[in-house]
Structure 1
Amino acid sequence: MTALRPEREDAYGTTSYGSFGVPGAGAPYGPPPDDETMALRLPEAPDATGSYGAPLTAPGGPAAPYAPPAPGGGRAARRKAAKRRHGRRGGPEGGSEPLGPARRGGEDGRPLSRVEARRRARASKPGPAVLASRAVGELFITTGVLMLLFVTYQLWWTNVRAHAQADREASSLQDDWANGRRNPGAFSPGQGFAILHIPKLDVVVPIAEGVSNKKVPDKGMVGHYGEGSLRTAMPDAKTGNFGLAGHRNTHGEPFRYINRLQPGDAVVVETQDEYFVYKVASMLPVTSPGNVSVLDPVPKGSGFTGPGRYITLTTCTPEFTSKYRLIVWGKMVEERPRSKGKPDALVE
């Protein structure tokens, strides 16, 4: 029983032996080898039925055509082909490269050529008209901001600064008077020498010599007409017209509301030695800036008929303009030494 014997016959009628000719190994060798050659040979051309070579016939079954091997070789080749078709991560053919302008395509889905892509890019850029409109808009915005800053400076900051300067001048005057420093009687332009009180308007402001804007009114003070042809009397003069000028708007605006004064309202001038109390007598709502006759010793239009001790307040009108002048006149009704205390107009 030691002789070799076939284990089984396969479908071709050949004996199946095990691996390396050992019976029972379970791997059939298939048809007997070709007697002509053991070399590789090309498959025969397909016949009229589309089969490669003669059909292989299994016992008892129909002929099965020979299926050619898959193109490209084995599993590795198939993977490479799949990557070429679908990309590394299953994306569109040609890999995962993002689509550029030339590949996004037009409305019909057709990829754009390089020239078309450039044209589309140029069309998406703003034209000269758009750039010009943007420049004009930015210019208007900048101008508006600058104007807003200027208005803020004029209407707010100038008042803040002028009030601070006027308060310092008033404090300096009062300190000098309290310490017994005598004033010279004649004052240089911009030098303070008195304090104006208008109780009804809650105004307390220094009076300085001169009406130059930069030296006096722009610093929040009231200026005395004391120079040249517009020279007016001082309060202690026996007769004459004490003329004052002040801003109605901005720079402290001490005369902003003098149009609210009524006949009989008090206006007080405080000096180092005395209080001079005036009562409002009349008002000229509008007159020309060149009407200097309102500063005459007997001012025209005031209603005064003869020499006396008068006060004249002048300012601009309408508000926020300097086109015309507003005039208020008063007549002295009391001269009170400081040693006797404040007048009733400042006590009430």
Structure 2
Amino acid sequence: MKRRSFLKAASAAGISVVGFKPMAALAANSNLRMGTWLPPTHHLTSVAFPRWIDAIDKASDGSLKIAIDPAPIAPPPEQYNIVRDGAADLAYHVAAYTPGPFEVARGIEMPFLSPNAEVGSMAAFDWYERNIGFDAEFKDVKVLTIFVHGPGVLHSKEPIHTLEDLQNVKVRVGGGGVRIAEALGAAPVAMPASQAYEALQKGVADAALFPWEAVKGFRLYELVNNHLEIPGGLYTTFFAVIMNRAKWDALPDEHKQVLSEIGGVKGAQILGKSWGDEADAIGKQAAIDNGATISALEGAELARWAEKVAFVEDDWVKLANERGYDGAALLTDLKATIEKYKS
């Protein structure tokens, strides 16, 4: 029935048409499946992503649904591939777990940059979208948003306050922390976050680089009791929330608009704050409740550590230059963007 005929018929029948939307503007229901590699009890999968998904549900009037898989269908480094190949509609991918393709984006992971996850996440999306564009390094998938976790903290079995304390200590790191740990004199043990508890339990690692959230999320409070905070973090980790291209193309325009609006900087804020900052506070409290010793890297000792890892910025600028960008200008803009969101 044509819209005008429908309205006449509705009026004659005494039916209210206030707020009526033409059928062409009403989106059909869409159901998406999101891959995961973390347990359902983890804060990211039990709180942060559900909060983001709920915002999408409300913005679509309930017509766009996202369900998180109850169990992983692939290990962490394969999340990009399962989305690209259509085994999952969406997933969250850790760029550091697949070194090579996303190195410009990983500029956001450099030491001492990100004061907290909310600021770091919003700044990261803004900076990367303006300067690089997601089709440059993520051409096989659709990026909905990106986010980072809170500042990286050094959690250890024995106290670590100085570079000397860190010498030859076996430190669990993600893919991006290997060279940093080496430069500081530690012995890096690279592995996904999900394997850290077992590594610490079995003595494969004696310390771990993680944001505070991991203390609760991976029950590290059972194994380590010393925690060294670093201003801006010794590192952070960049996550991309990605979607299968064909699935994106098949969505109604209304649902594409919802994902764009609740993705982007807004999605980065939701996920950064919900997971990074809220979970960091919970993790730190769990450490305190279990008798933690917490110290901060500052003053002359902080300067010593910063000098040791200064090569990270230099190397990233060189890499960006080699890929056709002005690396120094990009780094300056990244720092300025972070300051903008801090204020």
Structure 1 or 2, whichever has the larger Rg, is 1
TM bucket normalised to smaller: under 0.3
> What is the TM-score normalised by the length of structure 2?
0.23
Give the alignment's TM-score, normalised by structure 1: 0.23
Looking at secondary structure, tell me which structure has more strand per residue. 1
